[in-house]
Amino acid sequence: MQSLTNLSDEQLIVLYQQGNAHAISILINRYKDKIYTSICVLVKDKHLAEDFFQDTFFKIIDTISLGKYKEEGKFLPWGIMIARNLCMDHFRKIKRTPAIKTSEGMDIFDCLNFSEAGADDCIIRRQTEGEVAKILESLPEDQREVVVMRHYANMSFKEIAAVTNCSINTSLGRMRYALINLRKLMSEKQLAL
């Protein structure tokens, strides 16, 4: 019998619908880091991100359990779209813009999963991450969102377009303007990353 970890997303979903609870845990583990990172960048609060992360997977599991999941694309963009919609609904309700710091006052990029290196590399990485976070924060929200999905969630522009409900050309344009703005800001701050 083939190992469950080698199965495609669609095969795992079918197995889960047939009663194999382990199949959904493999699917969740496969994408948890990318979905969590996307949520962290949107909400900028570790505790809130954890809540949205759980809500996202509850919604995913409920949708699959009820047989309402339709394989129209890939599982990851669908999951990120659910997470994004939950975040946007939350911010519409409270009508505020999230801050760049977590509730503990830590930089949002501290919750990203980076491998540890030497002490000097860690110091340089933290400084660089802090500068990148400041620069990203100054971008318009739609540009920042595309940069995060492309570079932190490794999504294609087609997937980004599906999640943000816009055309591929719009996603590409937002990325182009984001890069132009990032270069301009780096030049103004005399940063070399």
How confident is the model over 13-65, as pLDDT tens digits?
888 888 888 988 898 899 999 999 888 888 888 888 888 999 998 898 888 88
Give the residue carrying structure tokens 């047989």: 67
Of the pLDDT bands very low, low, confident and very high (cuts 50, 70, 90), residue 121 is low
Are 45 and 102 within 8 A, CB to CB?
yes
Residue 62 sits at the vertex; the CA angle it makes with 148 and 36, to the nearest 5 degrees, is 20
The DSSP call for residue 8 is: -
User: Mean pLDDT throughout 71-86?
Assistant: 84
Is the whole-model pTM more than 0.75?
no
DSSP of 59-90? HHHHHHHTT----SS-HHHHHHHHHHHHHHHH
**Closest listed residue to residue 108, CA positions, set 77, 57, 152:** 152
- pLDDT attached to residue 128: 65
- pLDDT attached to residue 6: 86
More confident residue, 24 or 101: 24
